[in-house]
Amino acid sequence: MAWTVRFSFFSLLLLTTMHYCLGQEYRDGQYPSSTSLFGVTYSPLALNLSTICLQIEQVETDMAIIREVADHVRLYSLAVCPEITEAIMRIARADGLRVMAGLFLSEDEEGNVEEVEAVGPLVEEYGDIIDAVIVGNEVLFSEALSLDDVLFYVSEVKAIVSGTQYDVPVTVADVWPVYESAVGPTLADAIDFVCLNIQPYWEGWDIVCPTGIDYECASAGNYVHLKADGLESYFGKPVWICESGWPTEGERCCEGRANARDGLLAGPSETNATIYISEIVAAAREVNRPTYIHAIFDEDWKRIWAPCGTCEGLSTLLEDPFCDSCELDYHWGVYGFDRFPKDGVTLPDPPTLK
């Protein structure tokens, strides 16, 4: 993707002369968190050819698992499985969880309308536990929608939320190449806080800086917060880490990939995932930055419903082999798709609340 303006994360960190007053708007109430992880991402979707939606009973089990490790959860759709969305909100309220309610936006205008129309009733009923409404996930980076489209939907959702009894912030989830592009300032101006998806694995960042290098480096977990700090200073708005994690299976990444540093190869493993999660969580606690680990469960449902590019067009029959090169897409969970914890993934201790 050819963005017309790009900044390095180190250059963003140097923009301190702008002296923005960030304050704590839209961070108040986010902390304290009493669990190992502040937040996790959750897609209640099934590896099932007849329906993409999980059964309610499975969602109830999932929410109990989530409550053991996090007290905030991010959703990616309101209208794909509306009964499931309602169940999640009901369980979250009963169990003391807070929710980031995400809209799934795409080229499908009819589907987008359904997502937007779901916002009003949901906020009216559950606005007391909704931390934010996220209008689309990486739709600018994927070029699924134009900036004008995204701004239109943001305006629509803000108008809907303002008509409720709750003051719920509205934002858009995207990656740093979007926020650091020519469209970044316009996008940031339209949203209440910057919702940053950042996966240093896809940029080739390793868990630790390699030795014998002649350029500036940071370990993957600290790099995430350095990037967030720079964007926060540049835009003068809080930055939340809305999605970040580490895969436990698949190929090393990512020589020659866009935005990746040549010569660095990130390795998937349960040990590396443990190190990464520990570091990113520790840094988030230091600055009270809401941070959502991606994902609570492995996402085998993508084998059918969202195959990676090299697998598109292949058979999705469950008895057929799947595309081996897609394994990285499926193995970002703290737990396996079978809902069992991964033996080699250890989560940080819960914080000591003052």
Percent helix, strand, coil in the chain (nearest 5)?
40, 15, 45
Number of domains in the chain: 1
Say if residue 326 is preceded by a cis peptide, omega within 30 of 0.
no
Please check the confidence at residue 312 and state whether its pLDDT lies above 60: no
Rounded to 5°, the CA angle 53-72-163 comes to 80
Residue 179 in any domain: the answer is yes
The alpha carbon of 322 is separated from its chain's Cα centroid by a whole number of angstroms, namely 25
Which of the four pLDDT bands, split at 50, 70 and 90, describes residue 186? very high
Query: What are the distances in angstroms from CA 78 to CA 139, 293, 349?
Result: 16, 20, 32
Residue 342 located in a structural domain: no
User: What are phi and psi for residue 102, nearest 5 degrees?
Assistant: -100, 140
Residues 25-44 have a mean pLDDT of: 79
**How far apart are alpha carbons 173 and 145 in whole angstroms?**
13
Indicate whether 6 pLDDT > 70.
no
Q: Quick check: 26 pLDDT over 90?
A: no
Q: How many C-beta neighbours within 10 Å does residue 256 have?
A: 7
- pLDDT tens column, 219-267: 899 999 999 999 999 999 999 999 999 999 887 777 666 777 666 668 8
Instruction: Give the H or E element holding residue 231.
Output: helix 220-235
Tell me if 271 is assigned to some domain: yes
Question: CB-based contacts of 65: which residues, under 8 Å, 6+ apart?
Answer: 296, 335, 339
Per-residue pLDDT at 266? 83
Provide mean pLDDT across the span 54-61: 98
Does the pLDDT at position 216 exceed 90?
no
Residue 145 confidence (pLDDT): 98
Q: pLDDT at residue 324 above 60?
A: no
| In-domain check, residue 353 | no
**Average pLDDT of 292-306?**
92
pLDDT tens for residues 45-54?
Answer: 999 889 999 9
Residue 349 lies in a domain: no
**Is 347 inside a domain boundary?**
no
Q: Flag whether pLDDT at 277 surpasses 80.
A: yes
Which has more confidence, 223 or 208? 223
Q: What is the pLDDT of residues 118-175, one digit of tens each?
A: 999 999 999 999 999 999 999 999 999 999 999 999 999 999 999 999 999 999 999 9
Question: 1 in a domain, yes or no?
Answer: no
For residue 340, being part of any structural domain is answered with no
- pLDDT, residue 230, reads 97
Q: Taking Cα atoms as reference points, which of 158, 250, 168, 264 lies closest to residue 208?
A: 264
User: What is the domain-level CATH number for residue 192?
Assistant: 3.20.20.80
Q: How far apart are CA 194 and CA 229, in angstroms?
A: 11
Task: Say whether pTM exceeds 0.75.
Answer: yes
**Structural domain harbouring 227:** 9-330
347 touches 69 (CB < 8 A): yes
Would you state the pLDDT for residue 138?
A: 97
Q: 3-state class of 354 per DSSP?
A: coil
Average pLDDT over residues 287-307: 91
DSSP code for 99: E
